[in-house]
Each structure stands twice: as structure tokens, then as C-alpha cells.
């Protein structure tokens, strides 16, 4: 399957960006997400890589855009993102969750952030600020707290659209094969190398569906507890079992 080329389909030049989208039963919204990425990237050379971890590959079957790179992968966000990165041909990789939307000017901001890192000679990764769609009240407090935590700990999560120079991502060995916390693990490994992480001033817009479905307070407190336990050394596989049990 040929790589998609943003607003310039048919160009033979390699894409600068690969937007990698891990999915699990996202057939209903995948075409709207692809259209959003296309609109956000007008003028940029890019490809979109959709990595389906569902055995039925129902999200891939629903795709209407013939230029999207389709990847079937083992279940699990880390495995799906690594499979997408393997199939990608862009020089910069962006990992976009299916319920997250990019801000205007996202790709230019990523390029600038990585260029600033290159000037220091350390690092090749970054992320956006967290924005929660329609956030007010408690969810607005969650959003503010998350962005303050990012400034202090330099550990942006996956729903903030982590991005990498492709060569740097491969140097790191990709995401660790963890059932949970693969995004936290990746940022920790970068910090342990002594490398910098670019935190962009633009905010993504992440759907509040998971908070609304499970209860905003319950969902937030559970996630905080899981991250604290992970920081204290509880294995990700153990936390994954607890997480799945908490959703039943």
C-alpha cells in the first residue's frame, strides 16, 4: 500500500511525518479521524498508518481512504504502535490515539520542537499538552493537574500524542512490550539516558468518553493509583490485571 501524502497525494517524495494510529474496534469513527489528520496536515508530506489489534480487523475493513497504510498487529497498544512504526516510512513518527485530535499547526510545532532538541544534541522525542474535550469542573481540574505534572516530571502520556524522530525511536528499541504503562516507560527511558523531551505549548483534544463512561472521579483516582503503584515498582502486568478487573 502506498504512503499517503497529506495534501499532495501522488507525490513520489518520502513523507516527513508518519501518523500511527493504534485501534481496537474503532470502525465507527476511523474515517472521521483520518479526515481530521488530512485536514490538520495540509501542506505537509505525511502518511497515515492504522494498526488494528482486533482479530476481526473491523477498523481496517471500515477504512475508505485507499492511501492509508493498513497494518494488522497483535493485540496491545505497544505491539500495535511498534508494528506501525515498522511499517512507517516517515522521518518523524506521531502516535495518535483514536479518541484524540491534533491542534491547528501541530506538524509545524513538532518540527520546531525537534529542531530545538537537535540544537542541544540530546533527545528526539516530545509530546503536546493535554486538553480534554469540553472540560469543565472536575475534568478541567484533571487537565490542569496533568499539565502541571508534565512540567515537573517531564513524563507526558500517550494521550498527549508522543512523537519521535524515527531514527531516535529505533535507537530506543521502540515501546517496551508491556500491557500497560508503555508510554510512561518510554519517557522514563528517555530521561534515564539524560535526554531532553520537547513539551509543546499546543494542546491536543482528547475525548472525555472514558471519564464519562466510568465516572470522572473514579476513573481519575484509579489511574492516579495505578501510576503511583507503577512508580513504586509494581509490575505493569500486575497493574494490567487490576485495571481490567476495575472495568468489569
| 197-235 pLDDT, tens digit each | 999 999 999 998 888 888 888 888 888 899 889 888 999
Characterize 154-170 residue by residue with b for buried, 16 or more Cβ atoms within 10 angstroms of its Cβ, and e for exposed: bbbbbbbbbbbbbebbe
Give dist(CA 4, CA 8) in Å, integer.
8
Q: Which residues contact 238 (CB under 8 A, 6 or more apart)?
A: none
Question: Topology of domain 17-209, per CATH?
Answer: Spore Coat Polysaccharide Biosynthesis Protein SpsA; Chain A (3.90.550)
- What cell numbers appear for 9 in the block? 497525494
8 Å CB contact between 204 and 195: no
CB 164 within 8 A of CB 93: yes
Q: Is the pTM of this model over 0.85?
A: yes
Give the pLDDT confidence score for residue 12 in this predicted structure.
Answer: 61
pLDDT band (50, 70, 90) for residue 169: very high
Top pLDDT among 16 and 2 is at 16
Query: Grid coordinates standing for 135?
Result: 472540560
What is the mean predicted confidence (pLDDT) over 124-145? Answer: 91
Distance CA 217, CA 86 (A): 38
Amino acid at each position: 500500500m502506498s504512503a499517503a501524502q497529506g495534501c499532495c497525494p501522488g507525490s513520489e517524495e518520502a513523507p516527513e511525518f508518519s501518523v500511527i494510529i493504534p485501534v481496537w474496534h474503532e470502525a465507527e469513527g476511523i474515517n472521521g479521524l483520518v479526515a481530521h489528520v488530512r485536514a490538520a496536515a495540509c501542506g505537509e508530506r505525511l502518511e497515515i498508518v492504522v494498526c488494528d489489534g482486533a482479530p476481526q480487523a473491523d477498523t481496517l475493513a471500515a477504512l475508505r481512504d485507499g492511501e492509508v497504510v493498513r497494518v494488522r498487529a497483535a493485540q496491545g497498544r505497544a505491539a500495535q504502535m511498534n508494528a506501525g512504526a515498522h511499517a512507517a516510512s516517515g522521518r518523524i513518527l506521531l502516535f495518535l490515539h483514536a479518541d484524540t485530535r491534533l491542534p491547528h499547526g501541530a506538524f509545524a510545532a513538532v518540527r520546531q520542537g525537534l529542531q530545538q532538541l537537535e540544537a542541544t544534541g540530546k533527545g528526539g522525542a516530545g509530546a503536546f499538552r493535554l486538553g480534554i474535550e469540553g472540560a469543565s469542573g472536575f475534568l478541567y481540574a484533571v487537565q490542569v493537574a496533568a499539565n502541571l505534572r508534565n512540567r515537573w516530571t517531564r513524563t507526558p502520556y500517550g494521550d498527549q500524542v508522543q512523537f519521535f524522530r524515527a531514527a531516535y525511536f529505533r535507537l530506543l528499541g521502540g515501546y517496551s512490550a508491556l500491557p500497560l504503562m508503555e508510554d510512561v516507560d518510554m519517557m522514563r527511558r528517555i530521561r534515564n539516558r539524560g535526554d531532553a523531551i520537547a513539551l509543546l505549548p499546543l494542546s491536543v483534544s482528547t475525548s472525555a468518553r472514558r471519564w464519562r463512561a466510568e465516572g470522572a472521579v473514579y476513573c481519575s483516582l484509579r489511574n492516579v493509583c495505578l501510576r503511583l503503584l507503577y512508580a513504586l515498582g509494581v509490575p505493569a502486568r500486575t497493574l494490567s490485571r487490576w485495571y481490567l478487573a476495575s472495568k468489569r
